Amino acid sequence: MLVGKCEVMNDSLNDKRWREVVRLLAASSSARGNADVHSQCTSSIQHRRLQAPIRDSTRVEVQERISSTSIVISLADATSGRYSDEIWHLRMARRKGVCSLSGEPFLSGAAIYRRNMRLGKLATAEHAILATTIARLEVAQPVLTAPDG
């Protein structure tokens, strides 16, 4: 039983979040609202994917270079597990992406290291490391990290 005075919500961040939760819950109780909530959630998820690079939840370690075109990496991701001793090969990027080690964006045609996709699609399939990042590591230069947005 609720007894006492009712406090008016102000415009604090927590109040705005609470209002958004209540609005989404109220909208989900109607058929039309369900479609609206679904489209809002979908666009929100897509927006977060664009804003947060892959590397945000991933830890990548370059273990060694085994040839002029191959490296051995270890990759750990909180959502997909740990992959140790993966051999990645130098290749040309087929589409734009983000370097999993430095956070630098790259375009189609950039020299990158990536796992052999013919071995099956694992969680590491979307990850790539720019060849320029590996070159900087080999001469003990700092790996550039994209600023957090």
Lowest mean pLDDT among 74-83, 85-94, 95-104, 139-148: 139-148
Per-residue pLDDT reduced to its tens digit, 110-134: 999 998 877 666 667 788 999 999 9
Residue 73's SS3 state is: strand
How large is the average pLDDT for residues 13-28?
Answer: 74
Q: What pTM did the predictor assign?
A: 0.56
| pLDDT at 8 exceeding the cut of 50 | no
Per-residue pLDDT reduced to its tens digit, 88-115: 999 999 999 999 888 899 999 999 999 8
